[in-house]
């Protein structure tokens, strides 16, 4: 059966041009060619092998990660994948994506470098960025502490200005102030951007970023006053254990004054605190950047899981055999379709919404350069909300795909357990998803409350300008096909989001203390924020399955009635039938190599069973026929039973 394409029959059914769809998915022909070239380059390089990962112990796994990161960097230089200095070029980013192993380099390039770019002055950038671009120093982002992560303003590490020596003294005053979690910190980083409370002359000026050297550039030992290590094994086997998330404490460590990141505010030689004419929230800018990246990556993780589940569902057969004929492909069961196809649609939807968010982020960045800060709240709300929405849906979606693959989905060789374990912390890192939705809710409530003062809502809240109309709205859907009109779906989503936001704002106004009201109504506020974020996705693409999933909201807010809900469901079933012949082609359009998918169930050729069988024999337990430990632990039991039987 080797080499036979078990899915050829499925591929012949496709009703659209897969090659054209590959370009749509990639973004452009140029992007497609680049991804295609780099994914093949990675797949054919033995150093980037990953099928042995599940069996490696932590130390071997970590060394293997260091080897891959060093090799990736060598390839970037050799192939001139990046410009003269930076690896933040699309080629290098793609190489990292296809290597598919989290490493310290993610934090170096993804957070340390952007923190200096966004928060450093011109002089600081000139000094530090060339070193970082050449990886002559390796950095991480040390914000979270043992006692505080979400509440950034609650951080305890201090940076006290010493006017006598023109230095800051970085100190960890309590156990809970230990830095805890930063990726790349535990074993690799030589430097960190450390977030600490700025103290001048006994006064606390809040949290600011500081560049701190942690380890010697000669022997890699921690510098005096610094205690540093890895925080221990995390969820999953290989998964995120390739990363050295670290713990760090400072005992009065001195750094020069010019190592405070001073673009947003400065400390002068005399110890005077000067705040530039920019919002203090720019100190949070790196998080906004990474949240946008996380949204762009959600579609990648979800599409991998969907690709595996779709191909396997077409290969797998259960029940329904008549007269000795073939059994039914599980993809033909309506229940399988109703669980799988909305995820397939979501992967595409998140791909497009990720592109849109990149556009929004680029626009805001350009405005910030021109000192226009007006769109910052919208950028924060969109990145926070979409990060939360897409990572929650993706993590849940990967787990659903595992279940869609039945028992075989639970095997590491399906690729799904590791994909889930690597992905699921995205719901927590870069902002806990609930905490971020509450940020969106604050933005929405503020928008509603400002309507009465004549403030015109902009950006993604622009629909609130039609509040009167949306509060009167009732869907005029009469037949199932009406739900195919994008405007009909969009209006229903707008009305639902607007009504949920207004209900929250009205309930909040009943509290004399708004903060108390916000705490009390937090669960409703989160639901309103989700409704708003779903509207953003729907306004960029089409999503009827979401309406079906949240039918309760649409009916209880009076946007549609139960009959219209049933019509939506009917239309959804029609759509599943239309997707069915195209399903395998739609996942082929991702153009993933078997190396990248890392899944026997998702193999391009569909040759699942012989390969699963072959793979089982590679497990270290099968190295010997009789297991280690037989003589000590099994044989005595068997003998004891024998003795008892004789008695």
Site string for ligand L6B7KVET, 236-275 (x = CB under 6 A): ----------------------------------------
**205 lies in the binding site for ligand L6B7KVET (CB under 6 A):** no
From ligand FAD, ligand L6B7KVET, none, interface partner of 165 (C-beta below 5 to 8 A by class): none
> Which residue stretch of 55-63, 148-156, 334-342, 486-494 sits at the interface with ligand L6B7KVET (rule: CB under 6 A)?
148-156
144 among the known binding-site residues?
yes
**Judged by CB, which is closer to ligand FAD: 143, or 607?**
143
Residue owning tokens 């003269």: 84
461 among the known binding-site residues?
no
> Which residue stretch of 150-158, 267-275, 323-331, 621-629 sits at the interface with ligand L6B7KVET (rule: CB under 6 A)?
150-158
**139 lies in the binding site for ligand FAD (CB under 6 A):** no
**150 lies in the binding site for ligand FAD (CB under 6 A):** yes
> Which residue stretch of 27-35, 87-95, 428-436, 617-625 sits at the interface with ligand FAD (rule: CB under 6 A)?
428-436
Site string for ligand FAD, 397-426 (x = CB under 6 A): ----------------------------x-
**418 lies in the binding site for ligand L6B7KVET (CB under 6 A):** no
Cα gap 91→37, rounded to integer Å: 10
Task: Report helix, strand or coil for 279.
Answer: coil
**Judged by CB, which is closer to ligand L6B7KVET: 377, or 565?**
377
Question: Residue 250 forms beta bridges with which residues?
Answer: 226
User: How many amino acids of this chain bind ligand FAD (CB under 6 A)?
Assistant: 22
**373 lies in the binding site for ligand L6B7KVET (CB under 6 A):** no
Residue owning tokens 């579609």: 299
**106 lies in the binding site for ligand L6B7KVET (CB under 6 A):** yes
List Cβ neighbours of 398 (8 Å cut-off, separation of 6 or more): 301, 302, 305, 416, 419, 420, 423, 424
Q: 589 to 628, contacts with ligand FAD by CB under 6 A?
A: none
List Cβ neighbours of 269 (8 Å cut-off, separation of 6 or more): 163, 166, 257
Sign of CA dihedral 606, 609, 615, 619: positive
From ligand FAD, ligand L6B7KVET, none, interface partner of 434 (C-beta below 5 to 8 A by class): ligand FAD
Q: Using the rule CB under 6 A, which residue among 76, 382, 537, 584 binds ligand L6B7KVET?
A: 76
Q: How many CA atoms lie within 13 A of 270 on its CB side?
A: 2
Cα gap 333→343, rounded to integer Å: 16
Strands 191-200 and 158-162 come out as parallel
DSSP 412: G
Residue owning tokens 């099928």: 51
Q: How many of the other CB atoms lie within 10 Å of CB of 485?
A: 12
DSSP 110: I
Q: Active-site residue 430, yes or no?
A: yes
What are 285's two structure tokens? 């800018």
Helix (H) or strand (E) holding 198: strand 191-200
User: How many amino acids of this chain bind ligand L6B7KVET (CB under 6 A)?
Assistant: 36
Minimum gap (Å) between residue 152 Cβ and ligand L6B7KVET: 3
**241 lies in the binding site for ligand FAD (CB under 6 A):** no
Q: 515 to 554, contacts with ligand FAD by CB under 6 A?
A: 522
Cα gap 299→353, rounded to integer Å: 9
Please, are residues 303 and 347 in contact by the beta-carbon 8 Å criterion? Answer: yes
Q: 290 to 319, contacts with ligand L6B7KVET by CB under 6 A?
A: 290, 293
**449 lies in the binding site for ligand L6B7KVET (CB under 6 A):** no
Which residue's C-beta sits nearest to ligand FAD? 149
**183 lies in the binding site for ligand FAD (CB under 6 A):** yes
Minimum gap (Å) between residue 507 Cβ and ligand FAD: 17
Bin 619: left if φ > 0, else alpha if -120 < ψ < 50, else beta.
Answer: beta
> Which residue stretch of 32-40, 62-70, 137-145, 210-218 sits at the interface with ligand FAD (rule: CB under 6 A)?
137-145
Bin 159: left if φ > 0, else alpha if -120 < ψ < 50, else beta.
Answer: beta
**182 lies in the binding site for ligand FAD (CB under 6 A):** yes
Nearest partner of 304 among 39, 88, 105, 544, judged by Cα:
39
**Judged by CB, which is closer to ligand FAD: 107, or 504?**
107
**Judged by CB, which is closer to ligand FAD: 112, or 348?**
112
**435 lies in the binding site for ligand L6B7KVET (CB under 6 A):** yes
Phi, psi of 478 (to 5 degrees): -120, -30
Task: Report helix, strand or coil for 211.
Answer: strand
**435 lies in the binding site for ligand FAD (CB under 6 A):** yes
**232 lies in the binding site for ligand FAD (CB under 6 A):** no
Nearest partner of 161 among 264, 255, 249, 224, judged by Cα:
255
Minimum gap (Å) between residue 385 Cβ and ligand L6B7KVET: 11
Task: Report helix, strand or coil for 34.
Answer: helix
Taking CA atoms, 520 is separated from 27, 502, 504, 637, in Å, by 44, 16, 11, 59
Cα gap 405→401, rounded to integer Å: 6
Q: How many of the other CB atoms lie within 10 Å of CB of 35?
A: 23
Catalytic residue among 145, 167, 400, 430: 430
Taking CA atoms, 352 is separated from 347, 382, 433, 490, in Å, by 9, 14, 21, 16
**150 lies in the binding site for ligand L6B7KVET (CB under 6 A):** yes
**72 lies in the binding site for ligand L6B7KVET (CB under 6 A):** yes
Which residue's C-beta sits nearest to ligand L6B7KVET? 110
**Judged by CB, which is closer to ligand L6B7KVET: 496, or 532?**
532
Minimum gap (Å) between residue 604 Cβ and ligand FAD: 31
Q: Using the rule CB under 6 A, which residue among 128, 240, 350, 596 binds ligand FAD?
A: 240
Nearest partner of 442 among 357, 521, 374, judged by Cα:
521
Q: In the chain, what are the helix, strand and coil shares in percent, each to the nearest 5?
A: 60, 10, 30
Cα gap 457→459, rounded to integer Å: 7
> Which residue stretch of 62-70, 144-152, 475-483, 598-606 sits at the interface with ligand FAD (rule: CB under 6 A)?
144-152
Cα gap 341→549, rounded to integer Å: 13
Cα gap 564→570, rounded to integer Å: 10
**152 lies in the binding site for ligand FAD (CB under 6 A):** no
**286 lies in the binding site for ligand FAD (CB under 6 A):** no
**285 lies in the binding site for ligand FAD (CB under 6 A):** no
Please provide the DSSP assignment of 448-506 as one string. HHHHTTTPPP-GGGGGGGGHHHHHH------SGGGGGSHHHHHHHHHHHHHHHHHHHHH
- Which residues contribute to the site for ligand FAD (CB under 6 A)? 107, 141-144, 149-150, 181-183, 240, 245, 425, 428-432, 434-435, 438, 522
Active-site residue list? 430
Binding residues, by number, are 144, 183
- Known binding-site residues for FAD equal 144, 183
Q: Residues in the site for ligand L6B7KVET, rule: CB under 6 A?
A: 72-73, 76, 87, 92-93, 96, 105-106, 109-111, 141, 143-144, 149-153, 183, 281, 284, 287-288, 290, 293, 376-377, 380, 429-431, 435, 439, 442
């Amino acid at each position: 059966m080797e080499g036979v394409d078990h899915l050829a029959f499925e591929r012949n059914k496709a009703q659209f041009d897969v090659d054209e769809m590959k370009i749509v998915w990639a973004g452009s022909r140029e992007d497609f060619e680049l991804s295609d070239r780099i994914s093949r380059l990675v797949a054919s390089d033995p150093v980037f092998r990953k099928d042995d990962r599940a069996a490696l112990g932590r130390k071997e796994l970590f060394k293997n990660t260091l080897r891959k990161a060093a090799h990736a960097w060598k390839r970037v230089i050799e192939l001139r994948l990046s410009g003269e200095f930076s690896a933040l070029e699309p080629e290098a980013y793609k190489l990292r994506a296809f290597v598919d192993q989290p490493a310290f380099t993610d934090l170096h390039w993804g957070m340390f470098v952007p923190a200096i770019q966004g928060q450093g002055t011109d002089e600081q950038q000139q000094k530090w960025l060339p070193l970082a671009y050449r990886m002559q120093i390796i950095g991480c982002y040390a914000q979270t502490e043992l006692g505080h992560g979400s509440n950034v303003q609650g951080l305890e590490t201090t940076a006290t200005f010493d006017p006598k020596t023109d230095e800051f003294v970085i100190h960890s005053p309590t156990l809970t102030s230990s830095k805890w979690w930063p990726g790349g910190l535990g074993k690799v980083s030589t430097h960190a951007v450390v977030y600490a409370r700025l103290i001048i002359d006994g006064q606390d000026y809040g949290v600011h970023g500081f560049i701190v050297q942690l380890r010697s550039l000669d022997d890699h030992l921690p510098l005096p006053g610094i205690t540093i290590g890895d925080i221990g094994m995390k969820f999953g086997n290989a998964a995120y254990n390739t990363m050295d998330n670290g713990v760090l404490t400072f005992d009065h460590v001195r750094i020069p004054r010019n190592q405070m990141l001073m673009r947003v505010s400065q400390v002068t030689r005399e110890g005077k605190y000067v705040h530039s004419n920019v919002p203090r929230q720019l100190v949070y800018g790196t998080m906004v950047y990474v949240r946008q990246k996380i949204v762009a990556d959600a579609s990648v993780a979800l599409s991998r899981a969907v690709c595996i589940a779709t191909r396997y569902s077409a290969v797998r057969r259960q029940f329904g055999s008549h007269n000795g004929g073939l059994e039914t492909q599980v993809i033909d069961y309506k229940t399988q379709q109703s669980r799988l196809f909305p995820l397939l649609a979501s992967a595409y939807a998140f791909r497009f919404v990720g592109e849109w968010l990149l556009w929004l982020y680029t626009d805001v960045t350009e405005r910030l350069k021109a000192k226009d800060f007006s769109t910052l709240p919208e950028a924060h709300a969109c990145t926070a909300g979409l990060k939360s929405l897409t990572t929650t849906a993706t993590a849940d979606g990967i787990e659903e795909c595992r279940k869609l693959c039945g028992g075989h989905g639970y095997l590491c060789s399906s690729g799904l357990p590791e994909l889930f374990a690597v992905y699921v912390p995205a719901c927590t890192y870069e902002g806990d998803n609930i905490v971020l939705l509450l940020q969106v809710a604050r933005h929405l409530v503020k928008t509603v409350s400002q309507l009465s003062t004549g403030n015109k809502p902009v950006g993604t809240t622009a629909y609130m300008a039609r509040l009167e109309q949306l509060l009167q709205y009732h869907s005029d859907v009469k037949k199932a096909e009406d739900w195919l009109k994008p405007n009909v779906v969009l209006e229903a989503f707008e009305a639902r989001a607007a009504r949920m936001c207004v209900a929250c704002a009205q309930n909040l106004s009943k509290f004399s203390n708004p903060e108390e009201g916000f705490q009390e109504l937090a669960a409703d506020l989160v639901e309103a924020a989700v409704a708003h974020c779903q509207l953003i996705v729907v306004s960029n693409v089409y999503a009827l399955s979401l309406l079906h999933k949240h039918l309760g909201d649409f009916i209880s807010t009076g946007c549609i009635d139960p009959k219209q809900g049933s019509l939506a469901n009917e239309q959804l079933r029609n759509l599943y039938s239309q997707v069915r012949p195209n399903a395998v082609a739609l996942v082929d359009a991702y153009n993933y190599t078997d190396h990248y998918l890392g899944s026997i169930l998702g193999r391009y050729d569909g040759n699942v069973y012989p390969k699963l069988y072959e793979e089982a024999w590679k497990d270290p337990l099968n190295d010997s026929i009789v297991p280690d430990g037989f003589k000590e632990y099994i044989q005595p039991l068997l003998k004891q039973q024998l003795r008892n039987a004789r008695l």
